Structure 1
Amino acid sequence: MHKRLFIPGPVDVAPDVLEKMGTQMIGHRSKAASVLQRSISDKMRKLMFTENEILLSTTSGSGLMEGAIRCCTRKRAAVFSVGAFGDRWYKMAKANGVPADKFSSELGQPTTPEMVEEALATGKYDLVTITHNETSTAIMNPVEEIAEVLKKYPDVIFCLDTVSSLGGTKIDVDKLGVDVCITSTQKCLGLPPGLAICSLSQKALDAARQVENRGLYLDLVEIYDYIQKKDYQYPSTPSLSHMFALDYQLDKILEEGLENRFARHAEMARYVRDWANKHFEMLAEEKYASNTLTTIKNTKEISVKDLNKELDKRGYEISNGYGDLKDVTFRIAHMADTTLDEVKALLVTIEEILNLK
């Protein structure tokens, strides 16, 4: 029996989208491949609210995160972390020999504009990484306020991890001044894992050209120059199967309407937060709570493992807490093509299992 996934990725994928993954191959150096990949880029610009170039990578989101910090840091990176995935960006910097400092918030607390201002005022940093939506804590950082700080520092490259939020909440890349906005397919976009996507500003591209050791497979300059020269073909063999599905899914997303899609995610989030506050307690403050998943404090000290065993019998799965938050929290995702009625059915089932009143 298929379990309905309410975990923060991978998500359930609609049958018609999965079917597109089975499309017969075409030559990846063919005109048809150029048409497909250009179509994806044009649609992604609409979803990201940007005029910047779109790059695709047959990796997880981590691939383009690593590529961004390695390619675009000329001097030193300021990595802001609100959990496991900010920590990962710092680990990537160190593994690639990129000078970097990490600025961590307490678990459940956001990156504040004041933190970013204090770091940039030192003049030490020419690149900043922000996790927009942290899947371990379900913090959604105040990116609009952070962006206003970064606008005071026009030479600093602004990298934003939107892996678990793009497609589920509005991220106006150009208005925010994001130079490298990174996402991947297995969360709010509603596809299987295996493809990463980013937008790349001219400022980021110019900065990257000044960096000598950018690697090869994840060299953003190499990818950018190749798709310009070869009409949206890629230097390495891409995952055409993901691209067929992504092109199709983006049509469905645009047909739903971006504002409608964002509103649906916000409605599901409000419902889960209200439920969490009624029966347990939220980890994040309301104003920093994610629209795509919710991390709930385990105030009743339930066995999350046992809860998932019972949910499994009924065809559902949720997530335990991540890392240091394992068992002291649990997580419910509400993203991609999930509906409010499906969320309600899950929560009723949890109430029955735990005998919640």
Structure 2
Amino acid sequence: MTKKLYIPGPVEVNADVFAAMSKPMIGHRMPEYATLHASVTDQLQTLLNTKDPVFLSTSSAFGIMEGAVRNLVQKRCANFANGAFSTKWHDVTKRCGIKADLFSTEWGQPITAKMVDDALSSGDYDAMTMVHNETSTGVMSPLTEIAEVMKKHPYVSFIVDTVSSMSAVPIDFEALGLDVCLAGVQKAFGLPPGLAVCAVSRAALDKAKATPNRGYYFDFEEFEKNDLKHNTPSTPCISLIYGLDAQLKKMFVEGLENRYQRHADMAQATRNWLQQQGFGLFAAEGHRSVTLTSGTNDGNTDLEQLKKLAGEHGYAMDNGYGKIKNKTFRIPHMADMTMSDMEEYFSLLEELLPQVRS
């Protein structure tokens, strides 16, 4: 049975996206690909308000997350964590043989500007990593406030994962002073997985050139050389790039402000519904994601059974991640989803909840 996806990635993919992806194949060294590549990267620059390059990587976002630390850590990295994926970034950094320290807060809480400032004030670090929107918990950290304190630490590379927030909330690469801003396309972009995008500052590109042992596949210098020719270092996933081109065009037709508001409206509706059903909200007040909401189990609901029943009805449900699995459950509201999709899912869960509550 094909299930409609109500999980926080990969998300449900619309038919028009698959249609765009089914265009005839072209060679990645042909002029037709250069035209496609330029169209996509130009639109991504507009989306992120930057003139710096935005690279296309045939990989998951974690490929770029690894690449970023390999390119930009020359001394020591500060990894800030408040959930599973931000914590994993510390593990990835260490596995690359890079000196790094983990600064973590409780799951459900945001990374704060004070937390960043306190850690970086030691002078021990030349790079930091953080996840803007922690998908494991539904927490969105205050990126603008953190960017303000990062101005006090201009020699620390500012590396940010926006995997589940890019295109759903405004991210102004220039104004925030980011060095790396990365995302995968399987969440708010509404595409199948397999492609990552990554904006990189001029300062980061120059620093990378002097960093040893940065490898080949995710070498920023290789990306830049090829991007100048509207290309990639290695064979790209051309069908996904066709899909991304179509999705970006659709975003601009909708209007970015309208898109951001649609996501905010779905998020608020989801929070309201959860509380009406007797569930709590896991993320701290004022730091709740606009692309997914993590509900707290009321202690009387068998979320494993609810997930099974939803599956039998043709819906894929999420029942939490990692150490908070079944203590929480996540509801996505991103990409091409609309209020109608949310109401459909709420109706299903309202029908099933009496069967799984004690």
Provide the TM-score with structure 1 as the length reference.
Answer: 0.97
Correspondence list, 1:1-357, <5 A: 1-228=1-228, 231-278=229-276, 279-355=278-354
Distance 1:93 1:311 in 2: 38
Matches of 2:135 and 2:182 in 1, distance apart? 15
Whole-angstrom CA distance in 2 between matches of 1:197 and 1:170: 16
The farther-off stretch of 318-327 and 307-316 is 307-316
Residue identity in the other structure for 2:215: G
Deviation at 1:37, TM superposition (A): 0.4
Residue identity opposite 1:272 in structure 2: T
**Alpha-carbon RMSD:** 1.3
Task: Tell me, in whole angstroms, the C-alpha distance in 2 between the residues paired with 1:75 and 1:326.
Answer: 36
Residue-by-residue CA offset, 1:42-95 (whole Å, 9 max, x unaligned): 001111122210101000111111100111111111110111111111111111
Once the two structures are TM-superposed, the CA of residue 224 in structure 1 deviates from its matched residue by 1.0
**What is the percent sequence identity of the aligned residues?**
46
Give the letter aligned to residue 297 of structure 2. N
| TM-score (normalised: structure 2) | 0.97
Instruction: Output the CA distance in 1 between the equivalents of 2:4 and 2:150.
Output: 40
| Alignment deviations for residues 206-237 of structure 1 (CA, whole Å, 9 cap, x no partner) | 11111011011111111112222xx1111211
Name the SS for the 2:301 alignment partner.
coil
Distance 1:127 1:301 in 2: 44
Give the secondary-structure state (helix, strand or coil) at the position aligned to 1:43. Answer: helix
Deviations 1:183-220 (A, max 9, x none): 01100000000000000100111111110110111111
Q: Residue 55 of structure 2 aligns to which amino acid in structure 1?
A: L
Report if aligned partners of 1:73, 1:207 keep a CA contact under 8 Å in 2.
no
Task: Please tell me whether the aligned partners of residues 45 and 54 of structure 1 are also in contact (alpha carbons under 8 angstroms).
Answer: yes
Please give the alpha-carbon distance, in whole angstroms, between the structure 2 residues aligned to 1:168 and 1:77.
28
Tell me if structure 1 keeps the 8 A contact 2:110–2:284: no
Counterpart-to-counterpart distance in 2, 1:355 and 1:344: 18
Whole-Å Cα distance in 2 between the matches of residues 234 and 189 of structure 1? 20
Query: Which consecutive unaligned segments of at least 5 residues does structure 2 have?
Result: none
Distance in 1 between residues matched to 2:224 and 2:59, nearest whole Å:
16
C-alpha distance in structure 2 between counterparts of 1:37 and 1:152, whole Å: 36
Q: Distance in 1 between matches of 2:28 and 2:86?
A: 34
Secondary structure at the aligned position of 2:193 is classed as: coil
SS of alignment partner, residue 286 of structure 2: helix
Superposition deviation, residue 316 in structure 1: 1.8
Moved over 6 A (4+): none
The 8 Å contact of residues 311 and 317 in structure 2, kept in 1 or not, is answered as no
Q: Secondary structure at the match of 1:295?
A: strand
Distance of 1:50 and 1:276 partners within structure 2 = 38
Q: Report the alpha carbon displacement of residue 313 of structure 1 after superposing the two structures with TM.
A: 2.9
CA shift for structure 1 position 347: 1.1
- Give the aligned residue type for 1:156: V
Deviation at 1:307, TM superposition (A): 0.6
Query: Which one-letter code corresponds to 2:299 in the other structure?
Result: K
**Distance between the aligned counterparts of 1:195 and 1:80, measured in 2?**
25
Q: What SS does structure 1 have at the residue aligned with 2:2?
A: coil
Which amino acid counterpart does residue 345 of structure 2 have in structure 1? L
Please state how far the C-alpha of 1:258 moved relative to its aligned partner: 0.6
What SS does structure 2 have at the residue aligned with 1:263? helix
The answer (yes or no) to whether the contact 2:138–2:288 under 8 Å persists in 1 is yes
